[in-house]
Amino acid sequence: MVISFDIFKDGKLQKAFIDKFERFSFDTIAQARNPLFIGIPRIECFAPFKRTEGEDTPETVAKAISDLGKKWLKEAGAAVEISDESVVELSPAFCYRA
């Protein structure tokens, strides 16, 4: 996809063009006939993995997945005690909530 934008160069407004190699779901909204938007709490759908230490590590992603599984089990009335130290991972096939 080629994107154009205006830039100032040598004191003049000029067109510039760049190639965009990645796409996001919101890039397709303009082509949709009947777009549908749903709101999901960020904590339930986003856990970035960007670093090896600190925030956004494999450990923080695993904890976010586990915490979400614990929340869903508690909301469903799980008959077992779920401690803070427990690690929970639910199969997407099992927990799909349509």
The structure's pTM equals 0.59
- Characterise 41 by phi-psi region: left (phi > 0), alpha (psi -120 to 50), beta (else): beta
Per-residue confidence (pLDDT) for residue 88, from 0 to 100 = 92
How many other C-beta atoms lie within 10 A of the C-beta of residue 68?
A: 19
Per-residue confidence (pLDDT) for residue 66, from 0 to 100 = 93
Instruction: Quote the CA–CA distance of 23 and 53 in Å, as a whole number.
Output: 28
Residue ranges of the alpha helices (H) in the chain?
42-45, 58-75, 92-95
Instruction: Quote the CA–CA distance of 91 and 72 in Å, as a whole number.
Output: 12
Tens of pLDDT, residue by residue over 25-77, are 777 888 889 988 888 888 888 888 888 888 889 999 999 999 999 998 888 89
